[in-house]
Structure 1
């Protein structure tokens, strides 16, 4: 028997703010709150195919590039339209040493955590 990823935990200064941002980006909803942490996930809740995201309060500042980052791809529009939506939601372009010919966009959430916007998969 194998394991599956059930949740990803991200330390952050403002769990409510990041939860709201990622709920908008992913179409998730808040599933629970405990000890200042906020867990979000798909409408069907826990145990589905997608892992939930837990935003855990931390006073430690982000100092370096994350060793793990999230990749997203649009499900109902092209990459350019999705980029506009993400920027309007509060994402900002991030420079992690791209060369300029990549087929993805590197962005950062409101706390500076990098993530990539890939092309739409058919």
Structure 2
């Protein structure tokens, strides 16, 4: 680890958040069938695996340069992205308690991010 949170590393963390959200959307869409074997042959399953691999490489680069106590809490933004994607792509309902939780996660991430700057 070489230092704190720089703008390029913050951008790479955001890329990891987007890749993780995309992976979850792919897996959710592919998992619409009950049969596991049918799910394994779907292109969306393999696209999700590709997002997973790309995120692994990017995340490893982040961890080599950013303290874990800063980087990992910022990855909680993937919870926010996944909730938003669930509502937008799958028309899932978000109630007030759910929205409040997402807001609190975002506020916590903002606090951690500001600490790392």
TM-score, normalization by structure 2: 0.26
Highest RCO, 1 vs 2 (Cα 8 Å, sep ≥ 6): 2
TM-score (norm 1): 0.25
Larger radius of gyration: 2
- Name the one with the larger helix percent: 2
